[in-house]
A and B are shown apart, each in its own frame.
Chain A
Amino acid sequence: MPLPYSELVMEHFRHPHNVGRIEDADARAIEGSPACGDMVAVYLKVDPETQRITDIKFESYGCASNIATGSIITELAKGKTLEEARQITWKQASDALGGLPPIKAHCSVLAVDGLRAAIENYEERHGLVKEREPTTVEFVRRRLKHVMNPVTGLDVVRTKLVQEIEVADGVVRVVIDLPADHQFANNIRDEIVEKLGHRWDVKQVNVVFTE
């Protein structure tokens, strides 16, 4: 079949591992992308002594790459400590799947974000977090590393699409070096708003495109 997906991706899509819900989970998180519409829910059971993930499950409302990444990321995280699991990157997930098409990066990065969000959820519930982190230029840059450039499958920071970041009085302004009528302009804008718009100290997110 002339699909852009590898055999491994299709295998995980057809028969995803660790699918379902843990009813008495120690932590859970749902990450969603209004831009593409995909959603991933991640559920964790954690050994409080060792901080190891003893069980993990996911649910997906998404495309094949989203489902396959949910499957592989839960496999990778199982048995790891929270600290180790937090280090798992989209690149590792993609490699473990034999590569994902660049245009699908943003659907699959959701599963990675879902895992991290579930770990944060655990830390919050168990009093392991420090102060709420304020939204700074550095923070914005870090978040933007999770916004994928569908042309290359790499994030918008690494591909130098982010020209400028400003944070002032709760207003975040991001200048993206693409024309406003670029094929993926709307998609990238929605993703950026979604990554930052819900922050406790952010009132507004403006994404500006260069001409």
Chain B
Amino acid sequence: MKKNLKQKIVIIFGVLIVFLYGAFFGFDAPNLGGNQPLLSKLTQHIHLGLDLQGGVHLILQVQVKEAVNTETDNTAARIEQDLKTAKVTFSQVLKPDPARPELIRIEGVNSTQASAARSVLDNKYSNEYDIAGGGADGSFTVTMKPNIERALNDRTVQNTIEVIRDRVDTLGVSEPIIQQYGLGDNQILVELPGISDIDRVRSIITSTARLEIHAVVGGPYPDEQAALSSVGGALPPDDELVHGSGSMANGSDADSVYVLQRVAIVAGTDFRSADPGTDSNTGQRTVHFTLTNEAGDKFWEYTSANVGHSMAVVLGGRVKEVANIESAIRDSGEIRGSFSQDEVAILSKMLRTGALPASINYLEDRTVGASLGSDSIRQGVTAAVVGVLLVMIFMLVYYKGSGVNADLALFLNLVILLGFMGFSGATLTLPGIAGVILTIGMGVDSNVLIFERIREEMRAGKAPSAAVDQGFAHAWTTILDTHVTTIVSAAILFLFGSGPVKGFAVTLTFGLAANLFTAVYVSRVIFDAHVNKLKAGEVVSI
């Protein structure tokens, strides 16, 4: 009996040490150096949630339809090209419904050429598109296949995540979280601890530094009215109106409107790099760009065929510069405009990391200031300390000697709980601290159950060791019941809860699991050790 007891005591001390280690060091090697206060060493391995650290939490939605739009724009252009090469006449290739960017229509195909058109389309596009039509009205409908569209959406979201990750790097945040958010379609979760300047975050993340070069149809006009009247009052689907920005290359400040071709000649991913430069003549800041090989070919084709025409450099949806095509350009060029130093640097970085494939909307934004975070920690810890003290004192007063037993078990409980947190790298949130407090209350309940039963048995006249035996035996099923039901409840909260609630579920579960060990095994060992020392006729102090 005694040897068994010694073994058990060794096990308990072993557990204590293992979990103490876990709380301070997690799975890493011990780092005993440095003169950090003990408390901060403790919190190094326990991640603090945003509500305790302060930081930014965003849920963004990627407007994937825009990526689909761009893709089908390109496809439509290629279809036009292919039909022309096959000498099939048609009146137009267009996208009839802005709400359904996956749909392309070809209209006005002569019925004699219908089969020729069909074979052209089938040859090149049937892998990714569903082709229908060829009826008497001479029109075809080319629709992106749903699985292709889904794959494109996924790629767009992944690309957006990559771009955001790159951009967030510039903020110097430690341990940012940027990942797909499971609850909805095409949503991204961004969590940046320690940052509180939400405006800076927003401008960096969502800056649509889209750089595109479009063919100029007409302009500059002083306003949209004039621009529209130049094309006969109604804007053809191929064109769009774009305003000039205030800092144009020609130095004019007045607003101007251009009619540009909607589909860009080169855009976004066609740019391989962009660097700040200075115009040797005017001393103005410029951006020197290079295109990818494929885009360079496209650009060469276009510029050779359009010498004498103008093209507009559009940055962030506004015309930055209009240039005359003097000769064919292959893959590098310079954008002039009165850029500020910041603008140039940001633009270059954006172009290098890639433009966002689609724009993003904010769905949710929670920003916790650092002062609130530290206040919350202070308040949570105070409540925990007060709670623990109240419980410990009560147990001592009510159960006397056995109260010490319960308090020791409680202490070990907390150590194991912190150790679990350290080992698992789980995040501690403010509700998580509440979970620890609740665990203390519910944990000591198990002790009460056992002690009350022991008292009953002793009142019924049983000897101390028998009373202790009976106490633990009877209370076990109830303890197991209550712990399992609460842990299952916590598991459901973990699955369906938000970040802070997950923290609550985690500490509650760890605490109750630890309690199953301490309230039953450890308490029992302490009782057994105590009972062994009792002389005949003595009773357990309870």
Q: Do A and B assemble together?
A: no
Q: Residues of A with Cβ closer than 8 Å to B? A: none
Q: Residues of B with Cβ closer than 8 Å to A? A: none
